[in-house]
Homo-oligomer: A and B are copies of this chain.
Amino acid sequence: MKKRARQDRVTRQAQILETAARIFCDKGFEGASMGDISAALGITKAGIYHHIRSKEDLLYAIMSYGMDLFERKVLRRVMGISDPLERLRATLKGHILVVTRDRPKEITVILHESSVLKGRYREKIDARKRRYVRFLERTFRDLVRSGVARRVDPTVAAFAMLGMVNWIYQWYRPAGRLSGAELADAFADVFLKGILKSPAAG
Binding site for B on A (CB under 8 A): 28-31, 85, 88, 112, 114-116, 140, 143, 147-150, 152-153, 155-157, 159-160, 162-168, 170-171, 177-178, 183, 186-187, 189-199, 201
Contact = CB atoms under 8 A, between A and B. Distances in A.
Copies of this chain, tallied across the complex? 2
Given A164-B163, A178-B156, A199 B193 contact: yes
A197 B156 contact: no
14 contacts: A147-B197, A149-B195, A149-B196, A149-B197, A150-B195, A156-B178, A156-B187, A156-B190, A159-B168, A160-B164, A160-B191, A163-B166, A192-B196, A193-B201
A112 B198 CA distance: 36
Contacts of A164: 160, 163-164, 167
A202 B150 CA distance: 16
A195 B163 contact: no
Contacts of A150: 193-197
Contacts of A149: 195-197
Contacts of A198: 148
Contacts of A143: 195
